Every structure is written in structure tokens, then in C-alpha cells.
Amino acid sequence: MNDFLQNITLHQSAGALLVVALVMRVVLSMVLTGLVKQAQKTKNQLDNHLIEAVALPLKTMIWFGLVFFLIDLFKGELEFFLSLIAYINIVPIFIVAWAMIRMVSGIEAYLIKRKSKVNSDSIRLISRLTKILIGIGIALGLAQHLGFSVSGLLTFGGVGGIVIGFAAKDMLSNIFGGLMLQMDRPFSTGDWIRSDQFEGTVEKIGWRMTRIRTFSKNPIYIPNSIFSSIPIETPSRMTNRRIKETIGIRYDDIAQMPIIVAEIESMLTAHKEIDQTQPLRVYFNYFNASSLDINVYAFSKTTEKDKYQQLKQQILLEIANIIARHKAEIAYPTQTINIHK
């Protein structure tokens, strides 16, 4: 009879724990809902990301508490629970680490969405490094809790790091190359880059390699260490596009040359899409084999490829009209043959 009463007491205690856990779960949901509503009223959206990050770990902690106290309650009845209780108390460490990693991810998403002055690739790199440091810290803490010597592990890790460094020097050089790309930022994700070996748009800057999508839509995977040894051009960061053309007229039209050059220069000077703060030159430059060459040199305000092509087309057609108005012609290769009887 006493055993029966004791069993009833244990079951009643378990039922009470379940009720408490359910009440705490409902209360937590109400509190989180209220916090979310308050956070939505603020201009800064960082609090929304942080609340979302900690919500799931907090809910998990409630159910872990229920399981922990149930195991503690029944540990006298089952020997398995008695041995399990010695290890289950480290679970909150993992839950806290999980919450911290989710918070770091939330801050990362907020900063990228906010489009702050900090480069998105740098934000992702810092986020990854922070998560790795959290993981290392948790691993060392668990090792200490389980009775391992942390100082011994660190010493072994130092010696092992030297060995691994020699064995994987190429991989490490690529990783450090990726860090230098994040620090120096010669290009970012979405930039158009060009070198003698490749040209395309940067899709991803990874730990070990960078993925570039060529204009033929093929992906190229380039080890990060390569970028420290080759020159890289970033056309997407240009401030202007250059117009540089050589236009030739016939030798028969040399008398019209001064007025043609002057009108072309006036047209470019008055054009609203030509950047007047940049060099602008129109000169008769060269006696060529079949033409008198005029150099046209200017910079457009736009950097967009399509708008630049339309602007250049408009300017070339206007130059052709200026030449035609003065009864001159654009030259093409010709030969003169003198026949003697």
C-alpha cells in the first residue's frame, strides 16, 4: 500500500511538472508576442531579429527543464536515469550556444538587410568567425567539465597546428587570401572583375575560393591565393566611361578641317551627358595613308553599358552629320594610279 501511494505521489508530481511546463510555455508565448508587437513599432529592426533568435531556444529550455526534473524525479526508480542525470546537465550549455549562434545570425541578417557601410562579405566573414569562436569556447568548456586538461589540449593543438600547417599550406594560403580580400576589398559580391585569365561577375567569396560567373554564364572557381599574385581590374567601380575614337576625312577636305574640329568640340562641350570635369580633346592628329585623322577623346557621365552605347552611337552620328554639312566625306582606304602614255 505504501508503494502504491508512493507511485501515486510520483505520478502526481510528474503531472504537476507537466502542467507547470505548459503554463510556462503559454506565458512565454504571450511575452514573446508582446515583445514582437513592441519591436515592430520601433524604427530599428535589430530587436526583431534578436527576439526571433532567442524565442526557439527559450521554448526548448522549458521542455528541457521538464525532462530534467522528470528524470530527477524518477532516478530512484530506474538506474538508467541515475546514470543519465550526470550527463544531461550539460544540455543547457548547448542550448545557450545555440541561442548565441542564432543571435549572431540575426545580427548578420540585420546588417546585410540594412545595407550599412560595412561590406556584406565582411559581415558574413565576421559572423562565421564569431560562430567558430563560440563553438571552440563551448568545446573547451565541455572538455574541462568532462575532466580533460584544457592546457594539454591547447598544447597538443599548437603542435598539431604546425603539422597541419605544413600539410595543408595551400589551403591555408587560400584561407588567408580570403581574409585579405575581406580586409582590402578590391572587389565585392556582385562586382564585375577582369584579369588576363578571366572576366565575369563575382557571385561568392568563400573561405577557400571565389566563384565568378562569366558573361557566357559559366562558373569559374578561383583559389583566393591567386588574387594576391595577379592584377585585378574592377570595371563595375568605374566613375566614367571613356569615348576614344579616331575619325578620318579625305585629303581633298583639308580646308574644312578647322571648322569640323571646332564644331565637334563645341558639340561635345554642350552635350549634357558628357562629363565636363574630365579631359575633353578634339584634335587633327595625323596624316594617315588614306585619311586625315581626328582624335575624339571624352568621358560620359553614365557608367551603364546600354546607356553608354546609346550615347556613343548618338555622338558618332552627330560627328558624321557635321562632316557632311561641310561637304566633306569620311575617308576609306583608296589608291591613286597614275597612267602614263
pLDDT at 110 over 90: no
User: pLDDT for 149-201, tens place per residue?
Assistant: 666 555 655 545 554 555 456 666 777 777 777 777 888 888 889 988 889 99
Q: Mapping DSSP to helix (H, G, I), strand (E, B) and coil, where does residue 226 land?
A: helix
Q: CB under 8 Å to 216, separation ≥6 — which residues? A: none
Does the structure show a pLDDT above 50 at 1?
no
Q: Which residue from 129, 137, 127, 134 is spatially nearest to 107, judged by alpha carbons?
A: 127
Measured distance CA(235)–CA(190) in Å, rounded:
12
Distances (CA, A) of 111 to 133, 189, 205, 328: 20, 16, 18, 61
What average pLDDT does this structure show over 69-76?
A: 69
pLDDT at residue 38 above 90? no
Which residues are CB-neighbours of 318 under 8 A, at least 6 positions away?
A: 267
The answer to whether residues 224 and 171 touch, using CB atoms and an 8 Å cutoff, is no
- Whole-angstrom distance, CA of residue 59 vs CA of residue 99: 11
The C-alpha R_g of the chain, in whole angstroms, comes to 36
Q: How many residues does the chain have?
A: 341
If one compares 97 and 170, the residue with the highest pLDDT of the two is: 97
Could you report the per-residue pLDDT of 175-188, keeping only the tens digit for each?
777 777 777 788 88
